[in-house]
Structure 1
């Protein structure tokens, strides 16, 4: 075993014990990853039960991703300083407790508080889950195999979440997309002390000011966009939210430049390939969160799909991502990462542009399947080289920060993108509703069927206009891939590093 293990490490001499160790670690990561999609399928039922507006409904996603992404680097640092197993168990228990609260939520405020707490739990246990593989498996074939299985489980989380969300919502209740985490968290917390070795603690400090200013700054910016959707850009609270958000983000940059152990080492952005990759992942995540959120509403609205059928309808995008990622992973060593990033960004742009054509009469094949599969294939081509370039050339002491930064960018980008799309969606939907109301003859009361048809038109119109923003973000990613990324195959990290990140 690695010399990082403590003297009180639990016995794990046989392969069965090691398999259990990996199962416990991977199960935690799966729980955290699938929670980003399992809730999406239940959104229409949650909206109906807790009386969310469509714009406020986006907070069910953002409350989780903002705290998760904003505190992810701090969670990884906590594991290094306090002991990874200890922090891992605490984060898992907190995640399970938050899930229990979410399942019992009686109003929107309680659910959003639970989602934010889930995000904090995920930010604590997710980075330590990854690090515990290095702690519990010897370097070489054993560790490489563990990383491979861990990555496969994490990569399948989105698809599993979509199916699980559909099954639980349709055959039980939307509350079970939260309750399902509770027994898993309990089992993990009970098994961890027996099968997972503790790591040695390292000295260091927590960059709490950096974590708090960045997280609260992002929350303020996202709130500003969503507030603008309902109250307009001239609203005093909207403007105040943007002002506070920008001031906090400026304070974050000052803190990170001056602190001895920053949560985000700013020198990581000096490399153009790394910065370009992070910008591309920011744009990619912004659009992806919009797709999962709004297309979920579309297939269960105008298309009339059940929750389970909606979950199945999203599987092709997961398959496209997996296939494309395998192609990029296999061939980029020969052709270099730039080719796959440019091609992926082009497909990414085509898919998002296609979604702007969505209307109430669109079917599944032309309205959902086609554009999302094109988008998914592009995403898969970008994802692997972007991940590798993020850690390429990074000093050993900064590898964790670099990989954590990538994860944070994905979550934060998703929140910001979803909030911006929501702003555009709300204004366009309101304009369409006014137009349809004005077209009604005076004194005529629409039938329930006419009202339902009008609601579908309003929803589809708002969604299609929201994806104009997505297409613009895709265009930014395409420009970055062409003019900023200069990486060649020789710039990719060594195989060992790649295996650790993937």
Structure 2
């Protein structure tokens, strides 16, 4: 309206051209804006770097510290449970306490926990450092994103910034796969040392460039909800992975499982009664949102568990070096980096439900293919391994952004943060649960003694579970399609 009123004498000759040209011109940002964006991006980069880099180093860690497969599982689960259990609280804390303050403190804790993991000589202390690191990431990730959304104005500026933000996350995972092989060859502790200077550098730059912020939300922090959710999930995963080691006669896993159920039940009671809940449970009555939260479990849970399984199987059973293992998985990360920037346009054109179905179908096909090819005593990488890796990388690249889009589609602006945080939380916690189930199946087959074939028989049940979870997520994603076809068939019969 303003442009039309101030330029009434040239409405048909020049007015239409500047807007079209402006649409094609990328926004010009100052050095300060770029610095703020890069600091926030590095926080997400570190999260992706950590998960993939430590995953490749697991066999070396286990050999050096004398850790069992169950203990190694906790090095991954401790991080994702700390992350997922407090992710929603982290986003809320930034709104209530100030994003700059929360981000910088959490980033400092992240660096300290990483350094702690590099110097400890105890498996227990290493796992503790991983939990602390996950908790720190639960505060850096959502505050980094909120710093971006409040710094860059809505529209092209914000969309461009968020696209760069997503690419950094994917790049962190890919770089972790590649660098971990080289670093683990030097010593697994280097995989913990490497993120420290990056985190400290981001902390130093962030201190000077991120503007001071005041709390932007009112109300309270649902500490009781966060405590019951995170502690309940920790106990649930512990109960599952402890059972094969202590035996059915030991009542401790049963007791902790009952305690976990009680804590999770208390979480739902708290969320229904507290004035400022961590999660408004009514949001899950939205069908697409509920399906997105289930699909992210199938996507992230199986992908994380597959990396854990392959890291141990390829290195400990087949004798691959950490560098060979890292390079073997690297094409998946590279595909994520290449595909992620264009996924937004594909979602706009085809819709997130279709892309989610394609992604989960690709993921499931990759697992099924490896079930048939992976049993070879000396698998050929190009024919037996690489096809599955490419299917998995493509599936994850298309699926993650599509699920995030569906999980927030149609949600009021006031609950966008809740919806996106809920999907991420489901992915992290679901990942820990699926990984726990895979660990149970692998450790229950550890009675096997020698031979490559025996080693495959020990790992195969875990891969079957991974495949089943992916197929279940695919069924959830395609459920609306079958429902529509069923209703259409009934309508034709009636007519």
TM-score bracket for the superposition, by shorter chain length = 0.7 to 0.9
Cα pair distance change 1:484/1:424, threshold 3 Å: farther
> What does residue range 13-412 of structure 1 map to in structure 2 within 5 Å?
15-170=30-185, 172-201=186-215, 202-322=217-337, 325=340, 328-357=343-372, 358-359=374-375, 361-363=377-379, 364-412=381-429
Distance 1:320 1:233 in 2: 44
Cα pair distance change 1:461/1:185, threshold 3 Å: same
Distance 2:173 2:198 in 1: 17
Cα pair distance change 1:133/1:335, threshold 3 Å: closer
Native 8 Å contact 2:166 2:340 kept in 1? no
Q: Among residues 465, 470, 473, which one is paired with 1:474 in the alignment?
A: 470
Distance 2:482 2:281 in 1: 21
Distance 1:15 1:281 in 2: 36
SS at match of 1:429: coil
Native 8 Å contact 2:117 2:130 kept in 1? yes
CA drift at 1:371: 2.2
SS at match of 1:420: helix
Question: Could you report, residue by residue, the CA deviation over 1:267-289 in whole angstroms, capped at 9, with x for unpaired residues?
Answer: 11011111011101112222111
> Which residue number in structure 2 is paired with residue 450 of structure 1?
none
| Normalised TM-score (structure 1) | 0.86
Native 8 Å contact 2:299 2:400 kept in 1? no
Cα pair distance change 1:485/1:244, threshold 3 Å: farther
Question: Could you report, residue by residue, the CA deviation over 1:154-195 in whole angstroms, capped at 9, with x for unpaired residues?
Answer: 12111111112112111x321111112222222222222210
> Which residue number in structure 1 is paired with residue 12 of structure 2?
none
Distance 1:399 1:412 in 2: 20
| Normalised TM-score (structure 2) | 0.87
CA drift at 1:327: 6.3
Q: Among residues 435, 438, 460, which one is paired with 1:418 in the alignment?
A: 435
CA drift at 1:328: 4.9
Cα pair distance change 1:398/1:455, threshold 3 Å: farther
RMSD of Structure 2 on Structure 1 (CA): 2.2
Native 8 Å contact 1:56 1:226 kept in 2? no
CA drift at 1:393: 1.1
Native 8 Å contact 1:135 1:198 kept in 2? no
Q: Which runs of 5+ in 2 are unaligned?
A: 1-27, 485-495
SS at match of 2:472: helix
SS at match of 2:114: helix
Cα pair distance change 1:376/1:188, threshold 3 Å: closer
Q: Which runs of 5+ in 1 are unaligned?
A: 1-12, 434-453, 489-502
Cα pair distance change 1:293/1:142, threshold 3 Å: same
Distance 1:371 1:339 in 2: 21
CA drift at 1:206: 0.7
Distance 1:103 1:306 in 2: 21
Distance 2:434 2:169 in 1: 23
Native 8 Å contact 1:302 1:360 kept in 2? no
Cα pair distance change 1:321/1:155, threshold 3 Å: closer
Distance 1:283 1:472 in 2: 9
Native 8 Å contact 1:79 1:128 kept in 2? yes
- Which segments of structure 1 move beyond 6 Å, counting only runs of 4 or more? 485-488
Native 8 Å contact 1:276 1:485 kept in 2? no
Native 8 Å contact 1:356 1:465 kept in 2? no
Distance 2:161 2:335 in 1: 25
CA drift at 1:246: 1.1
Identify the range of structure 1 (395-404 vs 421-430) with the bigger mean alpha-carbon deviation: 421-430
Identify the range of structure 1 (180-189 vs 399-408) with the bigger mean alpha-carbon deviation: 180-189
CA drift at 1:113: 0.8
Native 8 Å contact 1:337 1:487 kept in 2? no
